């Protein structure tokens, strides 16, 4: 099986992984311009070298309790365009054998949310593997595609 590389980040004590080829950059948290009447998970936008990048709060997207501590932005590339996830912290890059990713989860009845690929075992750690294309809710994906066109 192939060895895959993931950018691993934390939300509290939980670890999550994004395929490294979908991560453009990692930035310290910065000020965002808030937009009115947007979903709670949408924090706003910021400027990155002349491009407007939307920011999603990963905690809100995954329906986790929010907190006010500063975090880190991970800029990811999707078919709809670039967006940023606000996470608690980035823990680094890990290589994980494809065979160590369990996609079928019995506790979920075989049904994972579309942004969840599965769970990877890396030593003693369990890492929730994410699908970057599906992290953006479909309504936001459509709006981003219109903005990019």
Q: What is the pLDDT of residues 44-71, one digit of tens each?
A: 999 999 999 999 999 998 889 887 788 9
CA angle 68/74/80 to nearest 5° reads 115
Output the pTM of the full model. Answer: 0.88
**79 pLDDT tier (thresholds 50, 70, 90):** confident
Strand 81-87 relative to strand 51-57, pairing: parallel
> Which CATH fold topology does 3-148 show?
OB fold (Dihydrolipoamide Acetyltransferase, E2P) (2.40.50)
**Domain chopping of the chain, boundaries:** 3-148
């Amino acid at each position: 099986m192939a060895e895959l590389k993931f950018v691993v980040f934390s939300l509290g004590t939980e670890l999550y992984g994004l395929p490294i080829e979908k991560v453009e950059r990692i930035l310290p948290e910065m000020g965002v311009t808030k937009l009115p009447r947007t979903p709670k998970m949408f924090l706003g936008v910021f400027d990155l070298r002349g491009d407007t990048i939307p920011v999603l709060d990963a905690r809100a997207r995954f329906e986790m309790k929010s907190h006010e501590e500063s975090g880190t932005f991970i800029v990811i590339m999707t078919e709809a365009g670039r967006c940023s996830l606000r996470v608690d912290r980035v823990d680094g890059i890990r290589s994980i054998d494809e065979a160590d990713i369990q996609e079928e989860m019995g506790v979920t009845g075989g049904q994972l949310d579309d942004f969840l690929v599965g769970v990877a075992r890396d030593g003693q750690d369990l890492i929730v593997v994410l699908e970057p294309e599906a992290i953006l809710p479909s309504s936001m994906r459509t709006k981003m595609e219109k903005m990019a066109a």
